């Protein structure tokens, strides 16, 4: 059985492109960010922790997929905002400039954990305080790294992306499918096209 170790509805939609059938079992683990780690190392470590927690509730032959995403700007990691004030601070910081989104993915199969990180650069348009306030009022920023969702109303904030769009959404679909093939785990999604 394939298990997604994440409660994210976005990751569920994306994993379905590779595996039409899977079970969702978020792995409870310590997600405290070690801010001393570079962002790409941090997301890989957090994905590995989530996968390790999911293994404890899985069968020996299950395939587990876990992921974590952070936004980084000026060497600073932006996770999910603590409140609306924090969301405003993040969006003000991102306004009119580029930042990098890192998504770490961990896969466990037959007791072996493999992981990788994909990164994409995102350019925000300049935003007024009023625009930021109106976006926060939608509630959308509150459960997303960097306080925005590129696949929803947050798309109105983004001028461009260099890299995989799905990395910014939280699961690099092409990168995961390619690595699964390299590791001898054939994605079912390719059989349907």
Bridge-based pairing state of the strands 2-4 and 63-73: parallel
- CA triplet 76, 87, 85: central angle to 5 degrees? 115
Contact 3, 65 (CB under 8 A): yes
Residue pointed to by tokens 């009119």: 96
Closest to 140 in 3D by CA, of 72, 81, 68: 81
* 129: annotated active-site residue: no
> 28, 34, 68, 191: which is the annotated catalytic residue?
68
Contact 140, 182 (CB under 8 A): no
Contact 69, 103 (CB under 8 A): yes
Contact 11, 67 (CB under 8 A): yes
Residue 50 has φ and ψ, to the nearest 5°, of -60, -40
Q: Which residues are tagged catalytic?
A: 68
């Amino acid at each position: 059985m394939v298990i997604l170790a994440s409660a994210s509805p976005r990751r569920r939609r994306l994993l379905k492109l590779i595996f039409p059938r899977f079970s969702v079992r978020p792995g409870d683990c310590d997600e405290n960010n070690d801010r001393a780690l570079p962002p790409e190392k941090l997301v890989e470590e957090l994905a590995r922790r989530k996968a390790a927690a999911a293994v404890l509730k899985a069968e020996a032959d299950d395939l587990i997929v876990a992921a974590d995403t952070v936004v980084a700007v000026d060497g600073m990691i932006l996770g999910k905002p603590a409140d609306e004030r924090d969301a405003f601070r993040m969006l003000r910081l991102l306004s009119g400039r580029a930042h990098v989104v890192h998504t770490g993915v961990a896969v466990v199969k037959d007791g072996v954990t493999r992981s990788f990180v994909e990164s994409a650069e995102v350019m925000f348009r300049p935003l007024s305080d009023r625009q930021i306030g109106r976006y926060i009022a939608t509630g959308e920023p509150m459960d997303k790294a960097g306080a925005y969702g590129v696949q929803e109303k947050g798309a109105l904030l983004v001028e461009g992306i260099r890299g995989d769009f799905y990395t910014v959404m939280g699961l690099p679909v092409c990168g995961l499918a390619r690595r699964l093939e390299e590791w001898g785990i054939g994605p079912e999604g390719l059989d349907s096209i």
